[in-house]
Amino acid sequence: MAAAPQRIVDAVLFDTFGTVVDWRSGVTDAVAAIASRCGVEVDAAEFALRWRARYQPSMEPIRNGTREFVNLDELHRENLIATAEEMGLPVDRIEPADLEWLNRAWHRLDGWPDSVPGLAELKRHFIIGPLSNGHVALLTNMAKHAGLLWDVIIGSDVIRAYKPDPNAYLGAARLLDLPPNRVMLCAAHNSDLAAARSVGFRTAFVARPQEYGPTQQTDLHATDAWDVIARDIRDLATQLRDHAT
C-alpha cells in the first residue's frame, strides 16, 4: 500500500495587511469620506500612505520594551492624529464618532480577489489563520467583513508581541501546539518571511505589487529562496496541494 501523501506543514498562517487584504484602497476611501463630510480637501491616497508609514515606527517602543503593550487600534489612533496634523485634516472638526469610524477603517478592509477562494482551498488541507500585528477584535471584524475563512485568530494582544519580534511567531506556534517547522508564514513582505524563517518557520512569498500603489518599489518579487514562491493565494494552495501528491 502506498504511503499517504505528506504535507510539508500543518498550519499556514498569513500576514494580513497587504498580503490578504488591500489596506490602501479601504483606508483611502474612508479618509475621502471623512474629508468630504468635513468639507475639506485632502489627498486621501497620500494620507493613507503616510498613516501606514507610521505603523512600524509606532510599534518599535513596544518591541524594545520602553512602552507597555497597547493594541493596534490605539497605535492607529495616535498615528491618525499625527497624520491629520501633518496633512491639514482638522481633527477638531471631526465628530468623535466619525473619528472612531475612520480609525476603524482597518477593521473593514476587503480581500484581494484571490484571497477568499485561495483560503477556502487551503482550509481543506491545513489549519489557516492570521499571524498579524492586528489584535483579536480587529482581525475578527476584518474576517467577518471580507469573508476570510480562518480556523483560528491569533491576535497580537494574545501573544503581546509585534512582529518581527521572534515571540510573535513562536507564540503562534505554541498556541497551535506545533513545532515551528510545521508552521508556514505566507507574506508579501520579504522582511517578515526572513524573521519567520529565523525561528524555524517554513515560508511562502506572494507578491502584491499594488499594495502601496503604482509607485511601489519594494517587495515586488521574492528576494530570497523561500520554500514557496506563489503568484497569489490560489497558486499557493495549488503548489502546497501538489507538493503532497
pLDDT reported for residue 107? 98
pLDDT of residue 243 exceeding 80, the answer is no
pLDDT reported for residue 241? 87
> What backbone phi and psi angles, to 5 degrees, belong to 195?
-65, -40
pLDDT reported for residue 3? 42
Residue-range domain boundaries for the chain: 11-22+109-243, 24-107
Assign domain 11-22+109-243 to its CATH architecture. 3-Layer(aba) Sandwich (3.40)
pLDDT of residue 106 exceeding 60, the answer is yes
Residue 12's identity, in one-letter code, is V
Task: pLDDT band for 133, please (50, 70, 90 cuts).
Answer: very high
Kind of pairing between the strands at 202-206 and 228-230: parallel
Per cent of the chain over pLDDT 70 is 97
pLDDT reported for residue 87? 94
The mean predicted confidence, pLDDT, of the chain is 95
Q: What is the pLDDT of residues 214-235, one digit of tens each?
A: 989 999 999 999 999 999 999 9
What is the average per-residue pLDDT within 19-29?
98
CATH number of 24-107: 1.10.150.240
pLDDT of residue 244 exceeding 80, the answer is no
Q: What is the pLDDT of residues 176-214, one digit of tens each?
A: 999 999 999 999 999 999 999 999 999 999 999 999 999
* Comparison of pLDDT for 237 and 244, the residue scoring more: 237
pLDDT reported for residue 2? 39
CA dist list (Å): 41 to 44, 87, 103, 124, 204: 9, 10, 19, 47, 41
